[in-house]
Amino acid sequence: MKPKKHEDEYVWVEELQQRMAKQQKEQQAASAAEKLRLKEAHWMHCPKCGQKLSMEKCGAVEIDVCPSCKGVWLDAGELGTIVENAAQGSFFHNCLRILRGR
């Protein structure tokens, strides 16, 4: 019998995969015009407060920072790059410097 923690992780991964598959189906069903309208309305705007995001160089990646709520957003693949470079210890220091400088 597996430990409970592993069962919880398995259930969580299964649920996450089901939700992602459902969202992918919904996105595929949306028309091209609707996709374009949504992209134009939301591109480079904070998903939390709606303000315009600014781009900040942070080590090996360029992060999107909200000047209003201080949220930090990553594009696809950037988290992997950050994790790969984390051993050098510069990412969190740079993020902290960017956020404190505002």
Residues that bind Zn ion (CB under 5 A): 46, 48-49, 51, 66, 68-69, 71
Residue carrying the six token digits 């028309």: 31
**Identity of the residue, 69 or 99, whose beta carbon is nearer to Zn ion in the bound complex:** 69
**Identity of the residue, 35 or 70, whose beta carbon is nearer to Zn ion in the bound complex:** 70
**Identity of the residue, 69 or 86, whose beta carbon is nearer to Zn ion in the bound complex:** 69
Distance CA 29, CA 17 (A): 18
Minimum Å gap between C-beta 20 and Zn ion is 24
CA dihedral 95, 47, 18, 27 (to 10 degrees): -130
The amino acid at 45 = H
